[in-house]
Structure 1
Amino acid sequence: MQLKKKFWKLASLLPLSLLLFLGGCDKKIAVLNPQGPVAKTQYDLIIWSLILMSVIIVVVFVLFTVILIRYREKPENMDYEPPDIHGNTLLEVIWTIFPVIIVIALSIPTVKATYASEKPPEQTKNIKPVEIYVTSANWKWLFSYPEEGIETVNYLNVPAGVPIQFKLTSVGPMNAFWIPELGGMKYNMDGMVMDLYLQADKPGSYTGRSANFSGKGFTDMEFELEAKTKDDYNKWVKEVQQTAPKLSENKYKEIVEPGVVGRMSFSSNHLKYVDPKSLEYCDYNYYKNKK
């Protein structure tokens, strides 16, 4: 009896401790604070998975409790010997079908969301995406705007309400590009280009980071994405084009050397120093257009 009392006392303190733990979080969890259509789709998938898993957990614990109470050893059944039963076809069918149903219920929305993320968001599919090459290096991020002819380091600006087509690559070790409030991560790999579509619904500042350990400077691989109105974005592009220095090949090689650097802006980009033939495009649309 004493052991039971201690157990229930500890169990009653668990919700309180969880409440106090969550009370220490003064900021929203980024992945649960979607600020764009891609992030919203992935957020809905997370919530659906949590609800489904919660239902399963509740059902399992209810069944466990019922069986534990109903079939426990009691004074009146101390001498009871259960009959020798070799399987139950109905039960075996049930516990085989239910896991299949659960997998299907998780797989269908997951596959749909995965394929949807490989193209511009449905809401803005008629708007031309802004193309930005994202190059990870030890331990910084380079953002090249081929159409605007500019480049930034460790920060980037984008127009709100417009899809962004990120082309991810790397100089050196593999990394992972992630802006939690705008969508899931994707890998940056040396010699390869991976497409990632994201979009910010409204102006604001969003923190991006590396999601793949890459050495001692890994924790410094954070950057800021600022979504601006269309007018403010165009004004910023013109300002960089007119006031920032050109990015020379020597300066580019200096930047990608292992080390931590601050924010930089250039009125040209390093793409002209990279041989496109050396890059393998992991993008279905690229090959389709080539044909």
Structure 2
Amino acid sequence: MKKKHFSLIVGLSLLLLLGGCDAALIDPQGQVGEQQLTLILTAFGLMMIVVIPVIVMTILFAWRYRENGEATYTPDWAHSNAIETVVWFIPFVIIAFLAWLTWQTSHSLDPHKPLESDVAPLEIQAVSLDWKWLFIYPEQGIATVNEVAFPAGVPVHFRVSSGTVMNSFFIPALGSQIYAMAGMDNDVHLVADDPGTYFGRSVHYSGAGFSGMTFDAISTTDEGFDEWVNKVKESSKTLTFPEEYYVLAEPTRNHPVEYFSEASPELYTQILESFHGGSGGSQQEKHGEQGGDHQGTPMSAEAAE
């Protein structure tokens, strides 16, 4: 009786744990996410071709060859061509198909590949900081922190970099994460099919404030996007490089959503060049090596030298 109660408690606990899981990966909201879900389900189905028969045969063999069973006793049996054929041929076919599928999807789902669309893409520049995300809209001349918006059905070209240690940019419902690295201009193309608010975050541990490094990705109608842009432009804050940028780049935890009505058109480029000794001096000289202790703690300029 105690064993039954224990099994029931374990089962209910697992259900409760699974109930808190983010199901965004299996509920995609864009064409990239849908293709990735198809890939996941296809690979899972191929694996089940092996897993299910193995489980069934394990149970059947245990039953058939149990003590006092009715199986024929054949102590001299050692080989079967039929069994060898099945054991080798089926896995070979599955592996060959998975290899082809991997090659095919590695190209079709390349995050750097622009999405086919009759609509011109919207460029948004994303910079990871300690511990927040800065989004720059070069065409609109605005910037935001921990909130990004774009029209549904419009391909979005995210240019991704980091002003600190390495992070990873990911909106699970839309698919394709991409690394954000200091001084590197990375990119990923995404699109949302319908209006909605989707969860985004960094999925690469970057220090003590990592758990709060999340943002809202808002997919709107065309009119809704224009209204959102106008709302951002009503802010009294501006963002220029280097003074205001370095103030923003200071480590903070659970940083609130913040709007900047004006952002320097060259801000993203200046952030990149700051790590290569370009205009504005080096990032390390200006702000110290953020994350030098893997917790986003700035290092002094003297220590950096």
The answer, yes or no, to whether TM exceeds 0.5 is yes
TM bin (shorter chain): 0.7 to 0.9
Tell me the residue number matched to 2:259: 265
2:86 to 81, 94, 116: 94
2:119 to 127, 142, 151: 127
In structure 1, C-alpha distance between the alignment counterparts of 2:48 and 2:5, rounded to whole Å: 22
Tell me the residue number matched to 1:57: 51
| TM-fit CA distance, 1:209 | 1.0
- The SS at the match of 2:207 is coil
Cα RMSD for the two superposed structures:
3.3
Q: TM-score w.r.t. structure 2 length?
A: 0.76
Judging changes above 3 Å, is the alpha-carbon distance between structure 1 residues 115 and 244 closer, same or farther for their aligned structure 2 residues? farther
Q: Which runs of 5+ in 1 are unaligned?
A: 280-291
> Does the CA-based 8 Å contact 1:170-1:188 persist in structure 2?
yes
Judging changes above 3 Å, is the alpha-carbon distance between structure 1 residues 120 and 171 closer, same or farther for their aligned structure 2 residues? same
Judging changes above 3 Å, is the alpha-carbon distance between structure 1 residues 237 and 72 closer, same or farther for their aligned structure 2 residues? same
Deviates more, 1:42-51 or 1:175-184: 42-51
Judging changes above 3 Å, is the alpha-carbon distance between structure 1 residues 190 and 26 closer, same or farther for their aligned structure 2 residues? closer
> Does the CA-based 8 Å contact 1:37-1:121 persist in structure 2?
no
Query: How does 1:192-203 map onto structure 2 within 5 Å?
Result: 192-203=184-195
- Greater helix fraction, Structure 1 or Structure 2: 1
Tell me the residue number matched to 1:252: 245
Q: Which runs of 5+ in 2 are unaligned?
A: 277-305
In structure 2, C-alpha distance between the alignment counterparts of 1:161 and 1:36, rounded to whole Å: 9
Q: Given residue 179 of structure 1, which amino acid in structure 2 is its aligned partner?
A: I
Q: TM-score w.r.t. structure 1 length?
A: 0.79
> Does the CA-based 8 Å contact 2:182-2:275 persist in structure 1?
no
In structure 1, C-alpha distance between the alignment counterparts of 2:96 and 2:69, rounded to whole Å: 45
In structure 2, C-alpha distance between the alignment counterparts of 1:246 and 1:167, rounded to whole Å: 21
Identity of aligned residues (%): 35
Tell me the residue number matched to 1:29: 23
1:19-73 CA-partner distances (Å, limit 9, x unpaired): 9816973786121111111111111222223333333222111222222223333
| TM-fit CA distance, 1:240 | 2.9
| TM-fit CA distance, 1:254 | 1.3
Q: Given residue 245 of structure 1, which amino acid in structure 2 is its aligned partner?
A: K
Judging changes above 3 Å, is the alpha-carbon distance between structure 1 residues 117 and 146 closer, same or farther for their aligned structure 2 residues? farther
Q: Given residue 257 of structure 1, which amino acid in structure 2 is its aligned partner?
A: E
| TM-fit CA distance, 1:234 | 2.1
Structure 2 residue 179 is the aligned partner of structure 1 residue 184:
no
Judging changes above 3 Å, is the alpha-carbon distance between structure 1 residues 244 and 88 closer, same or farther for their aligned structure 2 residues? farther
Structure 2 residue 150 is the aligned partner of structure 1 residue 155:
no
Structure 2 residue 76 is the aligned partner of structure 1 residue 83:
yes
Deviates more, 1:135-144 or 1:231-240: 231-240
1:226-276 CA-partner distances (Å, limit 9, x unpaired): 111112212322443454432122110111122233222222142253355
- How many residue pairs align between the two structures? 269
In structure 2, C-alpha distance between the alignment counterparts of 1:94 and 1:128, rounded to whole Å: 52
| TM-fit CA distance, 1:200 | 0.9
